[in-house]
Amino acid sequence: MQRLAIHIKGIVQGVGFRPFVYNLAQRYQLTGWVLNNSQGVQIEAEGPFQVVSCFVEQLRISAPPLAVVDEVLVTPCSLLGDKEFIIRYSCEQGQKSAWVSPDVATCPACLKEMNDPRDRRYRYAFTNCTNCGPRYSIIKDVPYDRAATTMSAFPMCVSCQAEYNDPTNRRFHAQPNACSACGPAYSFLTKAGEQIPCDVFNETRRMIAAGQIVAIKGIGGYHLACDARQEQAVSALRNRKIREDKPFAVMCSSVKVIRQLCEVSEEEELLLTSSARPIVLLAKKAGYDLAESIAPGTSFLGVMLPYSPAHWLLLADDDVWVMTSGNVSDEPIVYQDEEALDSLGNIADYFLMHNREIFQQCDDSVVRMVSNQRQILRRSRGFSPKPLTISQEIPPILAVGGEAKNTFCLTRGSFVFMSSHMGDLENLTTYQAYLAAISHYKRLFAIEPTLIAYDLHPEYLATKYALDLAVPQVGVQHHHAHIASVLAEHRIDEQVIGVAFDGTGYGADGTLWGGEFLVADYKGFTRLGHCKYLPLPGGAKAIKEPWRMAAWVLYNLYGKEFAAFDIELSRNLPSGWQLMMEAACKGINAPITSSAGRLFDIAAGILGVCHAIHYEGQGAIELEWAGQKQCGQVLPYTISQGHPYILDFMPTFAAMTEALRRGIGSDFLAACFHVTIADATVAMIRNIRRDTGIRKVALSGGVWQNKIVLEKVFGMLQQDGFLVYTNQLVPPNDGGLALGQAVVAGACIRER
């Protein structure tokens, strides 16, 4: 006989792990106990030596589907001669180190119960079990017990308590367990907050069908919903939300409906139906029939399936609803009821609200498939706060992230706890949510950072916050962090050729970088090449108005005579443009940048594809849309020899302009631009390989969200024998910046 004390770490709370242990112990006829504590799951098991050994092995390999077993620590202890195996009450023991499960989509078993008129949970909108339901959004603290969640306000009825206490039941120790007799409930309200007695889900469907906009409270916050096939309703939502062009996401009732609208590969269907239930970017089909203003200027549509019981009760048949974040543009998703009525009252006609508190807001995640690999564009619900594992242990670090698409992270040992998507910190409401989320993460994971990692840009609010903390700090260059995030994901501990292409990042020389070719590892980087510096006429305004840089390029190539060219750009120049160009040539209010992202804006401006930017990356997105159906050919560009290599696309823009003047179509030239960017990028990488012998390449930064360029560069490099790595666990945009900051800061500490 033997008795073992077993400590299990990982995502083992809120995923049915204790019931799994209990039933496994019953199967092996062991005695002892299991409980949750602040570090994970603690077990003591007693029985015959070989049987206990088999029990421990099964703990490792047969865990519940949502569990992630990271570590199993086994220690012999004295025999006690227990008579049974029991689940003990949770306790706080030692330093908190438990992991928290993300929110999980409704499982098939719960969905079956909801659709069965004979079941007591028929059409109940908060049906869940140990395999599904809310987790992160309702957890206040660990250990994960009902008392530490927002479900504490709903005492279980006799029937639910019986399920909770029954080891053979799927809801054994399911903390959010509830039914219509004891659990949360939905109500339907006017925008003035007056409750309307009705069948709330049928009434919501009726209002959506009538062209109304309804604010729907879900798992991690509010959505704004309307019928995706009614142009008037979608346009009204766009106008009220102050969202001029940025595409909306939609929710479809089934994969069958999605296939009627979009191309869906096997891998994309797996993403759509996964327990994370993200928004998946899919290519529109020729028969696509949704309102034109849902996703203008792009060939892709963001689509998701229902992931909460309420969604399944709302959407049926061939329903397609716009389901966009409940906020005013650029603000974080609204999740508190009073705030929803206040801030969404001018947008929504009605509210579908429930009375369970959302403790932590969490927006929808966004993913896509590129070159048969997953690319996360926004990491949030369904993924966060599940930790990432890196190759080396580092001290407790808070990496504060960047300004746009912010996420932060905390580290403990070899684990990185990335936050959910926060948004753009230049918005005060987002910044306040950011500060609150940092405090929540520190408390939830019991991590008190001994080091702060931050971006070098002195005007980023995250940087200012970091520098105000009385903790040692490490500044990390923006593009070094991008490349380091790829190294961390793939656990690469050697130098790579890093290509960091994005819109803007503060350079080590004080200028604005963004088209960078680096040789980098965690410890540092050498800048071996970059795109040629170009001015931003009018400063930051040039980022919002692509015509400014496009006009400067043509002014530089042709002088003021280009204003007489028979092209759309020349026909739409505002008064005073010439003075602006002259000022830019003198360096007045025209900071220089090597940004690859701005090159797409210039091309969009020259080709007349996009004159004004209403959301980040709009010029590049619309340029990609224009060029996707053409083959294109490589246009001229130059690479100056020496270090650093300078990649100059002025010949490209000259060739595009001359072709336009000859009547060649802008769609073909947009395709040519993409092909040229890809060819030039690979040529630069070949030069650096020749100089260094390095064959591993890491691609990161927001420009690599361009599917055409990424697939062309990826394919060409693989044909050349390079090993190519991209972000797959965190976004390539600034949403992945914090991961890179953390591992670079950790390397700095190791070096010291």
What is the DSSP secondary-structure string of 587-637?
A: TTT--EE--HHHHHHHHHHHTTS-SS-SSTTHHHHHHHHHHTT----PPP-
DSSP, collapsed to helix, strand or coil, labels residue 383 as coil
Same domain, 201 and 299: yes
Half-sphere CA count of 244, side-chain side, radius 13 A:
6
CA distance 638 to 13: 57
What is the CATH number for 414? 3.30.420.360
Judge whether residue 94 has pLDDT over 80: no
pLDDT value at 601 more than 90: yes
User: What is the CB neighbour count within 10 angstroms for residue 81?
Assistant: 8
Contact in structure between 321 and 226 (CB atoms under 8 Å): yes
Mean residue pLDDT across the chain = 94
Amino acid letter, 517? F
Domain boundary among 363, 390, 413: 363
Say if residue 12's pLDDT is above 90. no
Question: Do residues 341 and 435 share a domain?
Answer: no
155 falls within a domain:
yes
**Alpha carbon 303 to chain centroid, angstroms:** 15
Give the best-scoring range by mean pLDDT among 88-97, 608-617, 721-730. 721-730
Question: Is 137:360 a contact under the CB 8 Å cutoff?
Answer: yes
Domain boundary among 363, 397, 417: 363
Same domain, 129 and 63: no
Rounded distance between C-alpha atoms, residue 139 and residue 133, angstroms:
12
Alpha carbon separation from 536 to 13, 503, 602 (Å, rounded): 52, 12, 11
pLDDT band at 502 (very low <50, low <70, confident <90, very high): very high
Give a yes or no: residue 522 inside a domain: no
Predicted local confidence at residue 137, as pLDDT = 95
Residue 508, in any domain of the structure: no
CATH code for position 647? 3.30.420.40
pLDDT in tens, 474-497: 999 999 999 999 999 999 999 999
> What does pTM read for this prediction?
0.92
Q: Is pLDDT of 555 > 60?
A: yes
Phi, psi of 440 (to 5 degrees): -65, -45
Q: Note the pLDDT tens digit of each residue in 236-286.
A: 999 999 888 899 999 999 999 999 999 999 999 999 999 999 999 999 998
Q: Is it the case that residue 93 has pLDDT exceeding 80?
A: no
211 and 342 together in one domain: yes
Q: Say if residue 738 is in the same domain as residue 717.
A: no
Confidence of residue 614 (pLDDT cuts 50, 70, 90): confident
User: Residue 516 falls within a domain, yes or no?
Assistant: no
Q: At what angle do helices 650-661 and 666-692 cross, to 10 degrees?
A: 160
Asked if 320 and 335 sit in the same domain, the reply is yes
702 closest CA partner among 481, 479, 502: 502
In a domain, 504, yes or no: no
| Residue 113 backbone phi and psi in degrees, to 5 | -65, -40
Same domain, 168 and 288: no
pLDDT, tens only, 330-382: 788 999 999 999 999 999 999 999 999 999 999 999 999 998 899 999 999 99
Final residue of a domain: which of 54, 87, 120? 87
**406, 434 Cβ separation under 8 angstroms:** yes
pLDDT at 446 (0 to 100): 87
Q: Work out the percent of the chain whose per-residue pLDDT is above 90.
A: 85
Q: Beta strands 350-354 and 214-217: pairing type?
A: parallel
pLDDT over 90 at 14, yes or no: no
Count structural domains, the chain: 5
DSSP-derived secondary structure for 143-183: S--GGGBGGGGS---HHHHHHHH-TTSTTTT-TT---TTTS
Tell me, yes or no, whether 498 lies in a domain.
no
What is the average pLDDT across 725-735? 97
CA-to-CA distance for 516 and 646, rounded, in angstroms?
10
Q: Which residues, other chains included, contact 457 with Cβ-Cβ below 8 Å and sequence gap of 6+? A: 402, 403, 463, 478, 505, 506
Q: Are residues 658 and 559 in the same domain?
A: yes
Residues 590 and 711 in one domain: yes
Task: Assess whether 72 and 161 both reside in one domain.
Answer: no
Distance CA 234, CA 213 (A): 9
Please indicate, yes or no, if residue 517 is contained in any of the structural domains: no
> Is 576 domain-assigned?
yes
> In this structure, what DSSP letter does residue 380 have?
-
More confident residue, 177 or 89: 177
CATH label of the domain that carries residue 145: 3.90.870.30
309 and 197 share one domain: yes
Residues 103, 220: contact at Cβ < 8 Å?
yes
Residues 394 and 310 in one domain: no
Strand order in the sheet with 350-354: 186-190, 350-354, 214-217, 222-227, 320-325, 249-252, 300-304, 279-283, 366-370, 373-378
Instruction: Show the domain range for 16.
Output: 2-87
| Token code pair at residue 706 | 């361009």
